[in-house]
Structure 1
Amino acid sequence: MATSKEWTDQYNPFNSAKLMAQIPKWRKIIRGEEIPAPTLVTIDPINSCNYGCTWCNAEYILDKNTGKIGDSTLEEIADYLPKWGVDAVCIAGGGEPLIHPYLGKLVGKLAEGNVKSGIVTNGLYLDRHMDYLNNCTWVGVSMDCASQETLEKLKKAKQGDFDRTIKGIEKLASLGGTLGGPGQGHGVSYKYLLHPGNVSEVYEAAKIARETGCRNLHIRPFGTPWDQVGQKPKDTFSIGDLEEFNDQIERARELETDTFKVFGITHKFDGNFRKQNEFDTCHAIFMTGVFMPPQSSEGKYSFGLCCDRRGDEGLTLPDLTSTSQVTDFWGSEEHWKMFDKIKPENCPRCTYQPHNQIFEKAVEEDNMTVDFI
């Protein structure tokens, strides 16, 4: 089923065409040669969460590993990243990153090294780190609803959580600093993981997002977690849900202003919001990585290669004790052997589908002759 257009202005942070800027770096992804550091990595400070979302894609890792990265190790990683050549960090998690008490200081430490940061959070604990969050480029607050009732139904929230989070968003959106920079790429994003249980609240969410000072409402469909691929899904979108979404987002777009936009990001799914992994191999594991809590007391942290497959032992270096181990691994034959084993058909909806498509079509095949501008 055809859906509404994703945006009204192509110059926005959710347009995967921005990946074309990485082509000069990606041309150096060659077996047996030195591979550049990724432009962006993810840091999962802690595997813990205050909610129990019905669609949780971190349920596997939360069940297997409830650890966290120590404060001094987070500082060590923050020192290492600019030296390695990383430009930006997405702070997310196998859970809720703001639970980690050092989170705010991590953001400040990254800023000292001129490493940009963005945070994905459910927002309940924004007040704990507010003094540091103006150092972020963006903060995405995963509200996923427009009411306390739906928050409780889909995320097992407690009474009062909705209002508390909205107040936090209002304060966050008023901050200056890097977060207050111009354009859609900065500021607070009201995130909305679309699900059959919240399709009817998209328009109301857009109203709340605009009223609280958010730069945008960012909507994308929920997906099946990696460890449940091949199983019968718990929830699916009906034709009625898809029609309702189209109606809701068209109404929401009427609320757009010069500083507030509505994004319905669906290009990583098919027309029925099911996974659409249209690429042959996963070179994305040479484009990004995830620093995550160690698996045991013997390690300081683990390093994963895919944010969609947290906890997959085949894509994880467990219990590392030094950042030099990441440097030594990157582009090594061990790294390439992990690449050889990946079968995209066995993966969930892929965050990195556009990365892999651009690599195959514009780097390997040079279909766009990108140097001829």
Structure 2
Amino acid sequence: MILTQTTGLADPLFKLFHHADRLSGLRQGKFSAPIMVDIDPVDGVCNLDCDWCCQAASRASRPTRIMADETMIRLGSFCQAWGVKSWRIAGDSEPLLNKNISLLIESGHAHAIDMGLITNGVYLDRLSKIDLQRLRWLGVSLDAASAETWSSLKHARQEDFHRILENIRRARSLAPELDISIKFLRWNAEESLSKSRFTVPIRKISGDGALQPVLQGNNCNEEPEFRALAERLGVHAILRDSYPKDFPSRYRFAKCVATPLGGVFDASHNFHLCCDARNVYVLTDDYTRDDWRELPALWGGDRHKEMIASIQPGNCLGCAKYRMNEAIEKYIFADTPDHNFI
């Protein structure tokens, strides 16, 4: 299974060229502030239950928490002063479950932070026209072209599929210039890595009365319909393959060298080094400590570097930065004569 993203956009790895100073710093062991951070306005709960959710374990490991208004208001000025360029508002939970998320968007906008939002779309109507216009992009994880398939994969009511489509139409109308995409993760239960690796698998009763695991779900036949749906909605379609079950064996990097380019501010005030391993590599359990001065002081220090060195990529079931890690390790960290032939 080849992991691909099909859009009209240039390869996202090209964006690394714009941050040559950060890459040079990585090689020298000098870490600047992250380029992009994930903001989790909600911890530990989601309104859907996707078959492939790689964040299911993270949600299950911690209590439900909504980011405090005061924290959302302060994050903009803090990130601007630290040197963060952008926010991806998403999380291991549905971000729009935080009913005051407008405060976060206002804070980012007021402090020149570029912002994108990833949502399942059910509560997209909670965003105002101003909220939408302040975003650089909006991604809706739809993953199906029909209510029946969507309901089966998300374990939710079919009516919510139609609600999402209405919410997308509303967003398109309120923010005509906003880059909106609907996302489609190609899912095949027999081949794809599923949340059952982290949680109790779905089971059924076999003919002899014994419990048997169920491998169910496949949305691949709806891909053409999904593209057509995006066109009707006036948005982009982004299609990617889900992580294969043997994904770690396909990594072509030995160390997680891209880690300092990002990080996660969660609703519980933890700062996580990796969005794919929340609760595993926590640099501080309170990024507001010492009037928000502790985190920048820890960043790039001995403890931070020791945590990065301890990461074993082969133990990570799904690495969203796998291509970035491969590129940086091969072309920034390695010294070979090959690099002189451009």
TM over 0.5, yes or no?
A: yes
Residues of 1 paired with 2:87 and 2:126: CA distance?
20
Q: Does 1:192 align with 2:166?
A: no
TM-score normalised by length of structure 2: 0.82
**Larger deviation, residues 347-356 vs 43-52:** 347-356
8 Å contact from structure 1 (residues 362, 369) kept in 2:
no
Residues of 2 paired with 1:30 and 1:6: CA distance?
28
8 Å contact from structure 2 (residues 35, 261) kept in 1:
yes
1:326 to 274, 278, 295: 295
8 Å contact from structure 1 (residues 284, 355) kept in 2:
yes
8 Å contact from structure 1 (residues 223, 275) kept in 2:
no
Deviation track 1:326-353 (CA, whole Å, cap 9, x = no partner) reads 1011100000110121111111232112
Deviation track 1:218-267 (CA, whole Å, cap 9, x = no partner) reads 1112237xxxxxxxx5xx9xxxxxxxxxxxxxxxxxxxxxxxxxxxxxxx
Partner of 1:35: 31
8 Å contact from structure 1 (residues 104, 133) kept in 2:
no
User: How far has the Cα of 1:316 moved from its partner?
Assistant: 4.8
Secondary structure, counterpart of 1:219 in structure 2: strand
User: How far has the Cα of 1:194 moved from its partner?
Assistant: 1.3
Partner of 1:220: 240
Partner of 2:275: 307
Secondary structure, counterpart of 1:62 in structure 2: helix
Partner of 2:261: 287
Residues of 1 paired with 2:337 and 2:233: CA distance?
42
Partner of 2:120: 122
Residues of 2 paired with 1:130 and 1:123: CA distance?
14
8 Å contact from structure 2 (residues 37, 84) kept in 1:
yes
2:316 to 347, 356, 371: 347
8 Å contact from structure 2 (residues 76, 110) kept in 1:
no
TM-score normalised by length of structure 1: 0.76
8 Å contact from structure 2 (residues 254, 313) kept in 1:
yes
Q: Does 1:337 align with 2:334?
A: no
Q: How many residues align?
A: 308
Deviation track 1:139-164 (CA, whole Å, cap 9, x = no partner) reads 00000101111111110111310111
Partner of 1:19: 16
User: How far has the Cα of 1:29 moved from its partner?
Assistant: 2.0
Secondary structure, counterpart of 1:94 in structure 2: coil
Change (3 A) 1:307 1:192: same
Partner of 1:244: none
Q: 1:152 is matched by which residue type in structure 2?
A: S
Partner of 1:243: none
Q: 1:55 is matched by which residue type in structure 2?
A: W
Deviation track 1:100-153 (CA, whole Å, cap 9, x = no partner) reads 012122112211111100011000111111331211110000001011111111
Deviation track 1:265-316 (CA, whole Å, cap 9, x = no partner) reads xxxx7xxxx863211111122111000122xxxxxx000011111222x445
User: How far has the Cα of 1:370 moved from its partner?
Assistant: 8.6
Segments of 5+ residues of structure 2 without an aligned counterpart are: 189-217
- Point out 4+ residue stretches in structure 1 off by more than 4 angstroms: 5-9, 366-373
Segments of 5+ residues of structure 1 without an aligned counterpart are: 181-185, 225-232, 237-268, 295-300
8 Å contact from structure 1 (residues 282, 342) kept in 2:
yes
Residues of 2 paired with 1:24 and 1:366: CA distance?
18
Residues of 1 paired with 2:339 and 2:108: CA distance?
33
Deviation track 1:144-193 (CA, whole Å, cap 9, x = no partner) reads 101111111110111310111001111112333xx71xxxxx51111011
Residues of 2 paired with 1:358 and 1:349: CA distance?
17
Matches within 5 A, 1:59-138: 59-65=56-62, 66-131=64-129, 132-138=131-137
Residues of 2 paired with 1:43 and 1:211: CA distance?
31
